[in-house]
Amino acid sequence: MSGKDKIALITGASRGLGASIAHRLTKDGYEIWANYHSNHEAANQLKQEVEAMGGTCRLLPFDVTDEMQVAEILTPLLEQSTPDVLINNAGFNKDTLMMWMKSEEWQSVLDVSLNGFFHVTKAVLLGMLKRKSGRIINIVSTAGQSGLPGQVNYSAAKAGLIGATKSLAQEVVRKGVLVNAVAPGFIETDMTAKLPVDEIKKTIPIKRFGKPEEVAGVVSFLCSEDASYIVGQVISVNGGIYM
């Protein structure tokens, strides 16, 4: 799948990993459909950056947890075009030990990762199946593979998304749609900015945090023809912290 004249829909695209993935897929020649929730300033900054690279960026402000919002924004676009690539990147954390975790802290984290995946993927999937081609890449986490204390909600959400990745991959592979996941470890983003970096680095075999561009590079590979025999896999980008 060369990127020329193709479309990549990225959820949670306005900053962090989503923005890095948008930059990389722009370099690969994709038109970017950039979903974001409410950070208009960051979204407009991304649009300017993509356009400065010679690309095209369509901003799609909607809450992935709201099925009606997803349909309202995506349906008119999907009637005209189906994205060739869907990157389910939207997600966030509300870390605390389970004994102190509030119901809202549990539910909101699961809603974004799991309900967001369901609403957006279901909207896009029919067009991919009719066309008999497409790539769906879910951004999960090492937390969903190994578990992390203080992240029962986030680990559950990402573990659930790993399971959904493998099940959906089996459902649609014969129709030419390849589904995989990328599992970042500790990456230099806003989500990790407040962590005790020096202490965590000691636990990582490579002794550093990853860069968003390193995750984006793996996503780019999974979008390419070189990955045409890879399906239902979880590719870890974690510096060896979980093997």
Higher model confidence: residue 196 or residue 75? Answer: 75
Residue 115: closest CA among 179, 175, 182, 70 = 70
Is residue 243 in a domain? no
Tokens of 151: 């992240």
pLDDT the model gives residue 90: 96
Total domains in the chain come to: 1
Mean pLDDT of the 195-202 span: 91
Is residue 156 in a domain? yes
* Share above pLDDT 90 across residues of the chain, in percent, rounded to a whole number: 94
pLDDT per position as a tens digit, 63-102:
999 999 999 999 999 999 999 999 999 999 999 999 999 9
pLDDT the model gives residue 4: 60
CA 219 – CA 11 distance, rounded (Å): 14
Mind telling me the catalytic residues?
A: 154
Is residue 215 in a domain? yes
Tokens of 101: 């975790």
DSSP one-letter code for 28: T
CA 70 – CA 123 distance, rounded (Å): 8
- The owner of tokens 């970042």 is 184
CA 161 – CA 154 distance, rounded (Å): 11
pLDDT per position as a tens digit, 112-122:
999 999 999 99
Is residue 230 in a domain? yes
pTM greater than 0.85: yes
Is residue 242 in a domain? no
pLDDT the model gives residue 190: 81
Tokens of 135: 């790539």
User: Which range has the worst mean pLDDT, 77-91, 133-147, 178-192?
Assistant: 178-192
pLDDT the model gives residue 3: 53
Cα 20 from chain centroid (whole Å): 11
pLDDT per position as a tens digit, 3-29:
567 999 999 999 999 999 999 999 999
Question: Which pLDDT band, with edges at 50, 70 and 90, does 193 fall under?
Answer: confident
> Residue 155 maps to which CATH number?
3.40.50.720
CA 24 – CA 85 distance, rounded (Å): 13
Tokens of 134: 């497409």
Q: Residue 95 is part of which domain span?
A: 6-237
